[in-house]
Amino acid sequence: MLVSTLIVFLASAILLWTFFRKKNYRLMKLAEKVPGPKPLPFIGNVLELGTGPKDLHLNIIRLADKYGAIYRFWLGSELYIVLQNSDYIQIILSDAKNVDKSSVYDVLKPWLGTGLITSTGEKWKASRRLITPTFHFQILNNFVEVFNKNASIFVEKLAHHVGGSEFDIYPYITLCALDSICETSMGVSIEAQRNSRSKYVQAIKSMCDILVARVFNLLLYPDILFRLSSTGRQHDRDLVTLHGMTNKVIKTQRQKNLQESAVADEVSNDTGEKKRVPLLELLIQSQDGAKMSDDEIRQEVDTIMFAGHDTTASAMSFICWALAKHQHVQERVMAELKEIFGDSGHSPTLHDLQNMNYLEQVIKETLRLFPTVPIIGRKINEDLNIGDYVLPAGANIFIITYTLHRDPKYFPNPEKFDPDRFSAEHIQGRPPYCYIPFAAGSRNCIGQKYAMLMLKSSLSTLLRNYKLLVGVTPLDLANEIILKSLSGIYIKLERR
């Protein structure tokens, strides 16, 4: 009985593999011309890449060192082509026809639907056109007060660590980012920093953990297996909480009719022009023209929440670590802040934030070494010629920003932390696609100006109160969709 079962299994496997090769013959023949590790039947190069976020991070770097500017690997039946050459990357990111995201982003769809991150084609173009005005600088100016308020709470929450031993600052930063993102995107305060055990805050953390777990477990990829698992059941419970919160806010905002009573007649403090409305109000306003349903509005708001809080928290945590490790850089930042604020204790204005030029260089250099999104994924819809290769339709493209940003051709002594790389003098003549912390091209990050202002507000408030000192716990980098340190971000604080 056992022998016959084994024979049936092997025969079925051979038939399936033969069918796959026949169906994907052209894809496989073109892929063979691209250098890369030899794949195994069915599983591809899963064993070569590892089964966890840290393994993936280390093995991607190892393969990059081995194969260079372009290589390929297989995950099951999915082909991935990795690019590290800035000229190759420019071809991909500037191509208006191949703008779809990689298949790996599909795990986000139950939560985010077809929001700005996961949508394609005309749906994506329409959403991008609609949402872009909400990140206009005049709108961002109105958010500075929110950033400052939550930065002050952040500083208050850290007070009991002053003069103490090292501690992990990352959880505090995450809650601060959540507060700012939620208030500026939805118009409500969830007070995550004061109530970190709230159901909504816990659901966001749980959902982010589940997404990472699913990405690195092929058994959880099929929807039917995922739904039967305990992880899938927790995922569904979290969805009820997350979608319920956003739907409730949408309903409340519609009832208040903000677009008629407050927005239409409101005038900008600086220009005398009408203000552009923030994200949620603008999306609700558009619904009157039958452009978006409540579900579509929820998807876009949830997308901003997911994309905004985790990336900003990652960036700020690594910036804090870099400032703590490089005291001479921290002192230069403090000199700049002293020049801007003098002995005043006032919160930063938009003008103050715009004058923090050296702090911006620090932020950019940190994002070079620790890009919050270490891999950018695309899907090729039609064949694309790059160098000596034809990238076949159906292939996934991975752009590894972590290794791209360490190209010694553009960044000499690349492991050295040197914010002067981003001074006006040094950026002249540097190719635009050799440094892409916010991606590039038509699908670049819509919130990069927003992120820069929030980071400057939070960091300047933190540094004006505390001196950052590096802890003894080293970083342990891993690719959890977002670049993170598995060991935490440990620093010490002294009061200024």
Residue 182 marked in a binding site: no
- Residue 99, domain member (yes or no): yes
Q: Which of 406, 473, 415, 405 shows the shortest CA–CA distance to 439?
A: 405
Predicted confidence at residue 282, as pLDDT, reads 67
Q: Which of 334, 412, 405, 400 shows the shortest CA–CA distance to 364?
A: 405
> What's the N-to-C CA distance of the chain in angstroms?
77
Predicted confidence at residue 88, as pLDDT, reads 92
- Residue 31, domain member (yes or no): yes
- Residue 94, domain member (yes or no): yes
Q: What is the block-wise mean pLDDT of the chain (496 residues), using blocks of 10 residues?
A: 57 55 71 90 83 86 90 88 92 84 87 89 82 75 91 96 96 94 84 88 91 83 88 94 90 66 49 52 61 82 88 96 98 97 91 96 98 92 88 91 94 97 91 93 89 96 97 93 94 95
Residue 49's Cβ-side half-sphere holds a number of Cα atoms within 13 Å equal to 29
* Unique residue bearing structure tokens 């972590």: 402
d(CA 39, CA 28): 11
- Residue 294, domain member (yes or no): no
The pLDDT tens digits for 19-38 are 555 556 677 888 889 999 99
- Residue count of the chain, please give it: 496
- Residue 30, domain member (yes or no): yes
Strand, coil or helix: 195: coil
Number of domains in the chain: 1
- Residue 393, domain member (yes or no): yes
d(CA 432, CA 312): 22
The pLDDT tens digits for 319-350 are 999 999 999 999 999 999 999 999 888 999 99
- Residue 38, domain member (yes or no): yes
Question: Within its chain, how far is the Cα of 172 from the centroid?
Answer: 18
Predicted confidence at residue 217, as pLDDT, reads 80
- Which domain, by its residues, includes 45? 25-105+379-418
Q: How many CB atoms sit inside 10 A of residue 265's CB? A: 8
- Residue 347, domain member (yes or no): no
Q: SS3 string of 287-354?
A: HCCCCCCHHHHHHHHHHHHHHHHHHHHHHHHHHHHHHHHCHHHHHHHHHHHHHHHCCCCCCCCHHHHH
In sequence order, the 6+-apart residues with CB closer than 8 A to the CB of 62 are none
The pLDDT tens digits for 351-398 are 999 999 999 999 999 999 999 999 999 998 888 899 889 999 889 999
